[in-house]
Structure 1
Amino acid sequence: MLAGLVVAATLLLVVGPRAARALGRPRSPAASAPSLSRVSGSQQRPATRQRAETPSASPSPSRSGAYRVVGLGDSVPAGDECDCTSYVSLVGRHEAQRRGGSAVVANLAQGGLTTAGLLDQLEDSSVRHQISAANLVIVTIGANDFDPDPVADDSCRAPDVSCFRSTLRQQAAQLDAVLEKVDGLLGDRSATVLITGYWNVFLDGDVAAANGDDYVRNSIALTQTENAQIAAAAQARGATYVDLLTAFKGASGTKDDTPLLADDGDHPNAAGHAKIAEALESVLASR
């Protein structure tokens, strides 16, 4: 009898702890589920998106559903001299609607910005944050690198525009560095980078014509050279060049674009921004 009681007690002691552990098992999958979810989420992102310049709280376009656009460059994308919506926002809204979503636009363009200035801007953590989450980056930069004062001089005569060659050489390396940095911030995630040329890096339309034939001829020659350099930089870094000279001045390059310009003859007006947006959207639609 005593031996039986001892056996029973021993069995109770053994079964009790096992039963307790068994009761704990059903909670294990639930407790580990968040961990599995986080792992799954991180596996959907390329490793390059987890670099220091991309904070963990950065919104992911694929997860939020928003179409994110970043504008970079000078007073042209900034919308200076035009009380209107910049082409950066126009394109963002149109593309988001085309995809059935909403647009989040960060237009970081600044009046007076040079290519060297844009390189400096790309070191700013908040700018890098915005680019790293973008679906589309639109860049217009380069015109402010050139001094307009000698454009009508003999040393700047078309087609050689020799007085600007030193600036062009320096700018070539800077453009490459800009696009390299943007590409690095986007990482392996699918995104589009569009970089535009100019219809004129200086004044155009009636305002330019008032400065004489040499001014018009030499400024157009410089613009064509500049556009070719921007296009080459885009091709080298996998970006897409968008031709604005043809958009503003037609295939012949001689169309009067005064109706697309603000009163200063330097910046696009509302019709000009709409024309640039149309050129950008045409490129995006063909991709």
Structure 2
Amino acid sequence: MSRRLLPRLASAAACVLGLLPLLGCSAIGTTARPSPTALGPVATAALAGAAPGRTDPAPRMTLADPLRLVVLGDSVALATAGCDHCLGFDRQYATYLRTVTGRSVLLDNLALPQGDVAGLRLALTSDEREAIVATADIVVVSVGFDDGPPWRPGDPCRARPPGSVREWAAAMRRLTPGCVADTLSRYAAELDGVYATVERLAAGHPQVRVALGTYNPRVGNPDVLGRSVPAGEREAVMATSVAIAMEWNRMDCATARRHGFVCADIWRAFNGADGREQLRYLYGRDGLHPSATGQLEITERLAAIDISTVR
């Protein structure tokens, strides 16, 4: 268990139990604030009115124009997928932004359940969504979670959609380095289209763009490796899953950076530096999506990103 998150578990548990108003994390109204114990050192310093690494009060700007925050992508960005009553990172981050900038925040979460790359590209063809993204000051993209291997039947690996964890494991064992490389290359082109669209819509105005990356919820998961994979094959399945997730995130980050994005690398929090760790308390009731504590961890990653260009 990550030592830096231990003090946050009590607060996260309370959120799940419905004690949100007492923690100040039930809303993004003008008086609502995340509990200082719920966020790490960067966010806590900001919420306390001090810049990270400083003891003197940070300068604040109170502007008439609201700060516009837009979230795009998949089910990781939907708090209800992993916890019913906890506050999602989108609303937590909105509260953080309001606190450090002194500006009101308009939040548009346009994420979709099962929001894969193809679905995100299609969503960005909507005139309404284009207009929202075009006026955003901060855009956060969460994509990749719903695009995990063994991928689509039409992709180079030609895997059939698995109907169970056992079928997923069997499909993973049939993947080859060649088909994996070809599939990731195809996804890189699709992701490039997504990130290029966001950049184009900004039309040169100051905008902070963040790619969250994705994490691997199956590595170390006893429901996957303990019960559904033959003991003699578990290490091979894990190694394949880890290698693909690491390569996906490398590819995703490199693609996003070409279009002015910053990479939040949330996989480091959920899977560790080697990609083989699974911190179970970061996962919600379904064992896949972020728990209340997982949402806080993503918020901490976002709070560490420089937003001075739009303050």
- TM-score normalised by structure 1 residue count: 0.70
Q: 1:266 offset after TM fit, Å?
A: 1.3
Matched, 1:168 2:184: yes
After superposition, the Cα gap between the structure-2 partners of 1:102 and 1:225, relative to the gap in structure 1 and judged at 3 Å, is same
SS at match of 1:92: helix
Specify whether residues 199 and 142 from structure 1 end up closer, same or farther in structure 2 by C-alpha distance, changes over 3 A only. Answer: closer
Q: Is the 8 A contact 2:82 2:283 kept in 1?
A: no
CA-atom RMSD in angstroms? 2.4
Alpha-carbon distance in structure 1 between the residues aligned to 2:306 and 2:112: 24
Counterpart for residue 70 of structure 1: 70
Give yes or no for the alignment of 1:237 onto 2:263: no
> Aligned partners of 1:244, 1:208: CA distance in 2, in Å?
21
Indicate whether 1:187 and 2:177 are aligned.
no
Corresponding position: 1:155 with 2:156: no
Matched, 1:81 2:82: yes
**How far apart are 1:168 and its partner, in Å?**
1.4
Which residue of 269, 275, 296 corresponds with 1:247? 269
TM-score scaled by length of structure 2: 0.65
1:265 is the counterpart of 2:287: yes
Q: Aligned-pair distance for 1:69?
A: 0.6
- Work out the CA distance in 1 between the residues paired with 2:275 and 2:181: 23
Q: Percent identity?
A: 27
SS in 1 for 2:112: coil
Q: 2-side partners of 1:72 and 1:239: how far apart?
A: 13
> Mean alpha-carbon deviation: is it higher for 249-258 or for 129-138?
249-258
SS class of match (2:185): helix
Contact 1:201 1:223 in 2 (8 A): no
SS of match in other structure, 1:106: strand
Q: Measured at CA, do residues 188 and 280 of structure 1 come closer, stay the same or move farther in structure 2, by a change above 3 Å?
A: same
Whose radius of gyration is greater, 1 or 2?
Answer: 1
Deviation of the 1:286 alpha carbon: 8.8
Work out whether residues 208 and 265 of structure 1, in 8 Å CA contact, stay in contact via their aligned partners in 2.
Answer: no
In structure 2, what residue type is equivalent to 1:200?
Answer: N
* 5+ long unaligned stretches in structure 2: 1-61, 151-161, 163-167
Task: Name the counterpart of 1:275.
Answer: 297
- How many Å apart are 1:180 and its aligned residue? 0.7
- In proportion to residue count, which structure has more helix? 1
Give the match for residue 112 of structure 1. Answer: 114
Q: Gaps spanning 5+ residues in structure 1: where?
A: 1-61
1:102 & 1:203 partners in 2: Cα distance?
A: 40
Q: Distance in 2 between matches of 1:222 and 1:192?
A: 28
What amino acid is aligned across from residue 135 of structure 1 in structure 2?
D
In structure 2, the residue matched to 1:16 is none
Q: How many residues align?
A: 223
Q: Which residue of 1 aligns with 2:22?
A: none
DSSP-derived class of the 1:70 partner: strand
User: For the structure 1 residues 76 and 165, does the alpha-carbon distance in structure 2 shift closer, same or farther, using more than 3 Å as the test?
Assistant: same
Give CA deviations for 1:226-245 in whole Å, capped at 9, x if unaligned: 10111110121121111112
Counterpart CA distance in 2 for 1:268 and 1:219 is: 19
Q: Once the 2 structures are TM-superposed, how far is the Cα of residue 201 of structure 1 from its aligned partner?
A: 6.2
